[in-house]
Amino acid sequence: QVQLQESGPGLVKPSETLSLTCTVSGGSISSYYWNWIRQPAGKGLEWIGRIYTSGSTNYNPSLKSRVTMSVDTSKNQFSLKLTSVTAADTAVYYCARDRIREATNTWFDPWGQGTRVTVSS
Amino acid sequence: DIVMTQSPDSLAVSLGERATINCKSSQSVLYSSNNKNYLAWYQQKPGQPPKVLIYWASTRESGVPDRFSGSGSGTDFTLTISSLQAEDVAVYYCQQYYTTLMYTFGQGTKLEIK
C-alpha cells in the first residue's frame, strides 16, 4: 500500500523560499502524476500543481511564477519550492498521487498526512 | 478556470436522516468521448487529509459505506448520505479533474449533527 510523507521546515520567513519533499513508500514513484495541495487553517483546498515522473509539470496559474516542482526517482521523492513567500502562504501542505497510473486526469488518492508551514519572521 | 460552487456551506442533519450536498461547476466536466464526468467527492475530518468517497461522479470508492452516493452530470452534481451516522460529521468537498490546466475544488460543506 502506497504511503506518502511530507517533510520540510515548519517555519519560513517572509520573502524566503518554502521547500518541501514528499517521500513515497510501499510502491514506485514511476508512471504517476504527483501533486501538491494546500489548505490554510479553517479554509478550503487549493491545488498547487503536479509533476509526472518524466519531470513534466502543470502549475496553478495563480502560483506559477513562484512554484517549481522536481522529482527524484532514485529516492522515490518529489519536491516543491515556493519562492517569495508571504503570510498568505501559511497552510497545511499535502502531497497526493493521481489515482490512475499513466492517466492524465484522475482524482487524488492516496494523500500524505500533511505538514503545517507557517510564514512568519 | 472551472469554478466549483457547493451548497450549502453548512448543513445540520439529524442522525438517521438524509443529507444532500450540491456541487455546481462553471462549465461541463462531462467528457463526451467517454461519457464520464470528471468529478470526485472527498470527506475530510479534523486533522486528517481528505479521503475520496466518489469518483466519476457516481462510482463509490472501495470500502466506502453504501449510504454514500453520488449523482449528476454535466455541471450539476449531488452527494447524498442516505442515513446520517455520527462518524459522517466532516467537511465535504467536490473536485473537478476535467482540466489538468487547473484542478479545482468546491469551497467545502460542513456537515454536523442536528
Rounded to whole angstroms, the Cα distance separating B1 from A120 reads: 31
- From chain A, pick out residues whose CB is under 8 angstroms from the CB of B101: 58, 61
Using one digit for the tens of pLDDT, what is the confidence trace for A11-37? 999 999 999 999 999 999 999 999 999
**Model pLDDT, residue B45:** 98
- Which chain A residues touch B99 with a CB distance below 8 Å? 105
* A contact test, residue of B59, B97, B105, B109 with most A CBs within 10 A: B97
pLDDT band at A102; cut points 50, 70, 90: confident
- Mean pLDDT of the region A93-110: 93
Given CB atoms, is B55 within the 8 Å cutoff of chain A? yes
In A14-103, beta strands by DSSP E: 18-25, 33-39, 46-52, 57-59, 67-72, 77-82, 91-98
How far away is chain B from the Cα of A21, in angstroms, using its nearest Cα? 17
Do B100 and A58 make contact, defined as CB atoms within 8 angstroms? yes
Which residue is closest to B96 within chain A, CA to CA? A107
| Residues A64-94: tens digit of each pLDDT | 999 999 999 999 999 999 999 999 999 999 9
pLDDT band, residue A103 (cuts 50/70/90): confident
Low-confidence stretches of chain B (pLDDT beneath 70): none
Q: Do B49 and A111 touch (CB under 8 A)?
A: yes
Q: Residue range A90-109: average pLDDT?
A: 94
Note the pLDDT of residue A2: 96
Could you tell me the pLDDT band of residue A101, with boundaries at 50, 70 and 90? confident
Q: What is the pLDDT of residues B81-104, one digit of tens each?
A: 999 999 999 999 999 999 978 999
> Quick one: pLDDT at residue A37?
98
- Residue with more model confidence, A104 or B107: B107
Chain B partners within 8 Å of A60 (Cβ): 102
A71 DSSP β-pair partners: A78
In chain A, pLDDT over 90 holds for what percent of residues? 96
- The pLDDT of residue B101: 82
How close, in Å, is residue A44 to chain B by CA atoms? 5
Q: What is the rounded average pLDDT for all residues in chain B? A: 97
pLDDT of residue A56: 94
Classify residue A33 as exposed, middle or buried by CB count within 10 Å of its CB (0-12, 13-18, 19+). Answer: buried
Nearest residue on chain A to B39, judged by CA atoms?
Answer: A107
Q: Which of A104, A107, A111 sits opposite B55 (nearest CB)?
A: A107
Quick check: A104 pLDDT over 90? Answer: no
CA neighbours closer than 13 Å in the CB half-sphere of residue A56: 10
Asked if the Cβ–Cβ distance from A45 to B1 is below 8 Å, we say no
Report the distance separating Cα B113 and Cα B16, nearest Å.
Answer: 10
- Residues B10, B56 contacting (CB under 8 angstroms): no
CA separation for the pair B98, A85 (Å, rounded): 29
Q: No. of H helices and E strands in chain B?
A: 0, 13
The chain-wide mean pLDDT, for chain A, equals 96
